[in-house]
């Protein structure tokens, strides 16, 4: 995992993209995103890295502070629906 909230967010979302692709989906199919940040003070850096991955209409997002992430700065889970 790279250092810093921006690079960790980018890598995490690339990992999510890969999982969604295996299911025949993309981030455009995301309905709900839950984000856990080890430090909520990192929100601005996280959001700057997160925003380019999604297009309008963006999925619903919940962001919470989670102190026990085992040394990582961000964890992201996505609920998506394959369209068509």
- Indicate if the pLDDT at residue 68 is higher than 80: yes
Task: State pLDDT tens for residues 7-43.
Answer: 999 999 999 999 999 999 999 999 999 999 999 999 9
| CB neighbours of residue 66 within 10 Å | 15
- What pLDDT sits at residue 20? 97
What are the two backbone dihedrals, phi and then psi, of residue 79, each rounded to the nearest 5 degrees?
Answer: -105, 125
What share of residues in the chain are helix, strand, coil (percent, to 5)?
A: 40, 25, 35
- Indicate if the pLDDT at residue 84 is higher than 80: no
Q: What is the mean pLDDT of residues 59-84?
A: 94
Give the residue, 67 or 60, on which the prediction is more confident. 60
Report whether 13 contacts 62 (CB < 8 A): no
């Amino acid at each position: 995992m790279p250092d810093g909230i921006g690079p960790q967010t980018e890598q995490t979302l690339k990992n999510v993209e890969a999982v969604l692709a295996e299911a025949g989906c993309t981030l455009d199919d995301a309905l709900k995103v839950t984000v856990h940040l080890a430090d909520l003070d990192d929100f601005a850096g996280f959001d700057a890295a997160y925003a380019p991955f999604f297009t309008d209409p963006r999925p619903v997002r919940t962001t919470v502070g989670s102190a026990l992430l085992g040394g990582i700065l961000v964890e992201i889970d996505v609920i998506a629906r394959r369209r068509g």
